Chains A and B, each alone.
Chain A
Amino acid sequence: ETGVTQSPTHLIKTRGQQVTLRCSSQSGHNTVSWYQQALGQGPQFIFQYYREEENGRGNFPPRFSGLQFPNYSSELNVNALELDDSALYLCASSFLAAGWETQYFGPGTRLLVL
């Protein structure tokens, strides 16, 4: 198992609400990436944070936002939740240096929007 942890493990929200998901990266890693995995699909890249700055973003609307803290942990915030936001949210940590960095996934947060 990797040292990447996520909280909470499960969450139920209603449409229009806001949610914050948390991720603690593996020791020694400085980069966190967030992915959305719908049922039966591959993970879809949301964004990546490197040294507290956004370092790339996928095709997700601005209501998906994030933060990275000095200890390299990270938050994913989703505003105005929609039913289609129901998914497994995965974070992955890595050490971004010269390139080709392997990403290690956390266990995920399963979000259900009713």
Chain B
Amino acid sequence: GENVEQHPSTLSVQEGDSAVIKCTYSDSASNYFPWYKQELGKRPQLIIDIRSNVGEKKDQRIAVTLNKTAKHFSLHITETQPEDSAVYFCAASLAGNQFYFGTGTSLTVIP
């Protein structure tokens, strides 16, 4: 089955700096890659997703890039703010069926 690895496990940045989280996947058939943000005690919330026919997608301060050849995708957050502090999960799936999640990155934005 699919295996998703996520790095780093923890990340601290100064407010205003950029944060980058990287994930790799093993199954070349995976074609959908969402990113979720989970605040303490709350549900995972979708922040951005990318499909395999697209190399990059941006939504305000958040962007995701996908390299199908290397089988990795990354989340980029620019101009970080304290409210960006949370755990971020990447996931990979085939046609929206079974989602395989990474182990999470705990992001801390220091004011």
Contacts and interface: CB of A to CB of B under 8 A. Distances in A.
A100 B96 contact: yes
A48 interface: yes
Interface residues of B, number: 24
Interface in B58-103: 89, 91, 95-103
Interface string B29-57: 00110101000001111100101000000
Contacts of B36: 105
A103 to B, nearest CB: 6
A102 B46 contact: yes
Interface in A42-82: 42-45, 48, 55-56, 58
Contact of B43 (A45, A48, A107): A107
Interface string A13-55: 0000000000000000001010100001111110010000001
A55 B97 contact: yes
B97 to A, nearest CB: 5
B31 A100 contact: yes
Contact of B45 (A40, A41, A45, A105): A105
Given A102-B46, A105-B45, A107-B42, A56 B102 contact: no
Contacts of B100: 45
A105 B43 contact: yes
A42 B104 contact: yes
A3 B85 CA distance: 24
Interface in A80-111: 90, 92, 94, 96, 99-108
* Shortest 4 CB-CB contacts between residues of A and residues of B: A101-B96, A42-B101, A99-B95, A105-B43
Interface of A: 2, 31, 33, 35, 40-45, 48, 55-56, 58, 90, 92, 94, 96, 99-108
